[in-house]
């Protein structure tokens, strides 16, 4: 039977994470940018994943994704799964990376299955930027969103700038925007990043919310005042996944639509931080999501 078509494609990592926060520690839990992003996107549309996992990737973790309707036809299985170890101190806005083992990712040659060709949106979640560019070129018809992080800014800067030239939306956090542009002022950094090609730049500010920059415009989304914060790992990927998933359901890409996407991104990111790994985001209901989306509206009304 031919595979069902997908609405959006998520390219990124599938990983096993070891994470310590002031609230506990977990070992070899489901992680990776594609896992978090695809789960968040799956509340809006049907995602297909382009990634690689090792033969050691536990079948229960694969099932967590397929049970959410996520298509894994684009996941190559070979070698050992990508591993990441991070720790958060009391300022939970940024992880300190203790270990990154690329493993199978080091030789990854992405393939895009034929049932992904009709997708309208492509999320290039955190991944080697030369692979992000390769997938972007394989899906020219899509509206493209790219997320990145300090690891790739430090190690693959030129390739990253080339990948950014290919996309419509760039997503990154404030420290990464400053690092990439060598500029402390975020308004100036966003202008510089937009001049590379993207129509929109989204800057995540952890617990303080997110900014959306368009042509001479700026929208600010508040941070959700969370009491249940446990583990911020994957919040950024969940943000990008929800943005991509929501946009896949929308006919337009105008700024009001992008603003709503930022609020859905912030909604999924806030849920993600309430538990370790994907424990919270895997079991949400539509009502949970709409209730928090509405709470975001109330937060910024005056
Ligand atoms: P976030 O907290 O949203 O920035 O992302 C955390 C996830 O990113 C973890 O599940 C890691 O497995 C994954 N990750 C860590 N380092 C990298 C990297 N260099 N490239 C891609 N994904 C990564």
pLDDT along the chain (302 residues), means of 10: 84 98 96 98 98 98 98 98 94 88 95 96 97 98 96 96 98 96 97 98 94 96 90 96 98 97 97 96 97 94 86
b/e map 163-194, b = 16+ CB within 10 Å: bbebbbbbbbbbbbbbbbbebeebeebbebbb
User: What residue owns the CA closest to ligand 1's atom 6?
Assistant: 234
Q: Is 237 in the pocket of ligand 1 (CB under 6 A)?
A: yes
Ligand 1 center–CA 51 separation, angstroms: 13
Mutate which of 96, 237, 238, 275 to test ligand 1's pocket (most atoms within 8 Å of Cβ)?
A: 237
Cβ burial, residue 140 (10 Å; 0-12/13-18/19+)? exposed
Token pair for 280: 């919270």
What does the pLDDT read at residue 260?
A: 97
> How many whole angstroms separate alpha carbon 40 and alpha carbon 21?
22
What does the pLDDT read at residue 228?
A: 85
Ligand 1 center–CA 203 separation, angstroms: 17
Write the CB contacts of 188 (distance below 8 Å, at least 6 apart in sequence): 181
What does the pLDDT read at residue 182?
A: 96
What is this structure's pTM?
0.97
Q: Is 13 in the pocket of ligand 1 (CB under 6 A)?
A: yes
Q: Is 233 in the pocket of ligand 1 (CB under 6 A)?
A: yes
């Amino acid at each position: 039977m031919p595979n069902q078509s997908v609405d959006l494609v998520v390219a990124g990592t599938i990983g096993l994470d070891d994470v310590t926060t002031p609230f506990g520690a977990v070992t070899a839990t489901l992680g990776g940018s594609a896992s978090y992003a695809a789960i968040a996107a799956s509340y809006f549309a049907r995602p297909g994943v382009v990634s690689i996992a090792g033969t050691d990737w536990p079948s229960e973790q694969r099932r967590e994704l397929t049970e959410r309707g996520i298509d894994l036809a684009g996941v190559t299985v070979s070698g050992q799964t990508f591993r990441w170890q991070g720790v958060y101190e009391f300022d939970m806005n940024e992880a300190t990376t203790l270990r990154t083992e690329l493993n199978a990712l080091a030789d990854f040659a992405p393939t895009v299955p034929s049932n992904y060709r009709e997708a309208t949106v492509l999320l290039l979640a955190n991944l080697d930027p030369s692979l992000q560019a390769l997938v972007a070129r394989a899906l020219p018809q899509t509206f493209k969103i790219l997320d990145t992080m300090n690891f790739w800014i430090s190690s693959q800067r030129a390739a990253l700038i080339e990948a950014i030239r290919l996309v419509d939306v760039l997503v990154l956090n404030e420290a990464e925007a400053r690092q990439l542009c060598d500029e402390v002022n975020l308004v100036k950094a966003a202008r510089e990043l937009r001049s590379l090609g993207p129509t929109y730049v989204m800057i995540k500010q952890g617990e303080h919310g997110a900014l959306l920059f368009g042509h001479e415009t700026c929208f600010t989304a508040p941070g959700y005042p969370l009491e249940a914060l446990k583990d911020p790992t994957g919040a950024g990927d969940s943000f990008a996944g929800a943005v991509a998933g929501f946009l896949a359901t929308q006919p337009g890409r105008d700024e009001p639509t992008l603003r709503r996407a930022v609020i859905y991104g912030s909604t999924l990111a806030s849920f993600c931080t309430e538990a370790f790994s994907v424990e919270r985001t895997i079991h949400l209901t539509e009502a949970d999501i709409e209730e928090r989306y509405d709470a975001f509206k109330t937060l910024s009304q005056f």
